[in-house]
Structure 1
């Protein structure tokens, strides 16, 4: 099955209003990274065990690990969770940057080192979320 089909099925499988919010986020991120690679991770490890929520990734970067190894991975990702939606902005070195820079203007969201969680798009300032994602994209562009 193609990545596009997996993504569309994943989003379509979400209950409303989360489905509509995920569709809108998908559109927003495609506008930010129009020619970026799409990723779909089903949340299962090599043995088929569920280890995380499925997630959709956008763009490409080289992740650098503490042991010196590198791995190609996405720049921005989205995932549905029981409480709402998570947006992952990966590769930012300063783990306090997102919270310090965007946290107070985001609205009703929890911000960690690389994750912004919220219940619904209506609860947050979407322009601030777009600015945070664009910052991450700019920091990790290959």
Structure 2
């Protein structure tokens, strides 16, 4: 199955209103970077064991590891979780950057070093989330 179809099936499988919110975010991210590389991670490891929530990845960057190796990974990720939606901004070395830069204006969301988690889009300011996503996509 191709990635586009996996993504559409993943979005379609979400309950409302989460489905509509994820579809809106997916469309917005594609509008910000129409030619970005897409990925779909089903959340399973090489043994088929579930290790994370499935997620959609946008863009591409090389993530360095402490041992000197690198791994290609997405720049921005989007995932449904049990209580809402997570947006991942990957590759940020300053773990306070997201919270300090976007947190004060974002609205009702929890922010870690690389994850913005919220219940619904109505809980946050879309222009602030869009700016955070744009920041993630612009980092190459």
Question: Same fold per TM (> 0.5)?
Answer: yes
What is the aligned partner in structure 1 of residue 109 from structure 2? 109
How much does 1:133 deviate?
Answer: 1.2
Inter-partner Cα distance in structure 2 for 1:41 and 1:135: 22
Inter-partner Cα distance in structure 1 for 2:137 and 2:93: 13
Inter-partner Cα distance in structure 2 for 1:57 and 1:77: 4
What is the aligned partner in structure 2 of residue 72 from structure 1? 72
Q: Which consecutive aligned stretches of 4+ in structure 1 deviate over 6 angstroms post-superposition?
A: none
What is the aligned partner in structure 2 of residue 137 from structure 1? 137
User: How many pairs does the alignment contain?
Assistant: 140
Residues 80-113 of structure 1, C-alpha deviations (whole Å, 9 max, x = no match): 0010000000011111000001001100000000
What is the aligned partner in structure 2 of residue 122 from structure 1? 122
Unpaired segments ≥5 residues, structure 2: none
SS at match of 2:34: coil
Unpaired segments ≥5 residues, structure 1: none
Q: Calculate the TM-score normalised by the size of structure 2.
A: 0.98
Inter-partner Cα distance in structure 2 for 1:136 and 1:23: 19
- Is 1:57 paired with 2:57? yes
Inter-partner Cα distance in structure 2 for 1:76 and 1:14: 20
What is the aligned partner in structure 2 of residue 43 from structure 1? 43
Inter-partner Cα distance in structure 2 for 1:66 and 1:126: 35
Q: Calculate the TM-score normalised by the size of structure 1.
A: 0.97
Over the aligned positions, Cα root-mean-square deviation in angstroms equals 0.7
What is the aligned partner in structure 2 of residue 20 from structure 1? 20
Inter-partner Cα distance in structure 1 for 2:136 and 2:75: 7
SS at match of 2:14: coil
